[in-house]
Amino acid sequence: LSKVGSSYVFGSTGPSSFDCSGLMYWAYSQAGISLPRSSGAQYSGAGSRVSISDLKPGDLVFYYSPISHVGMYIGNGQMVHAADYGIGVIVSSISGYDITAMRRVA
């Protein structure tokens, strides 16, 4: 959450700008956990599946088919994610997007 307000830059992993998977990569690295770099690789190579009713803060929420966006669940139906150009890192609802899958990494 300390990165809310940071700018969106495709391919960036921080510390002052991020793309969606770069933010997850950076956040988990701060906790000593290594994630693959892209949202698709994070989906296929990290953690275990969870259902929407079992989401806990820190779980990854993946969007679209093929997977092309990821955010981190923070509780109360909200996630932090690097949204897009001109928007940057924000907190928003997990609904309103085409959720593909959810995974628990830690």
User: What span, in angstroms and rounded, lies between the C-alpha atoms of 18 and 31?
Assistant: 17
Q: Which of 8, 17, 18, 20 is catalytic?
A: 20
Active site residue 49: no
User: What span, in angstroms and rounded, lies between the C-alpha atoms of 28 and 8?
Assistant: 18
- What three-state secondary structure class fits 71? strand
Q: Which of 72, 81, 89, 102 is catalytic?
A: 81
Active site residue 20: yes
Q: Which of 69, 73, 79, 88 is catalytic?
A: 69
Active site residue 105: no
Peptide bond connecting 15 to the previous residue in cis, omega within 30 degrees of 0: yes
Active-site annotation, residues: 20, 69, 81
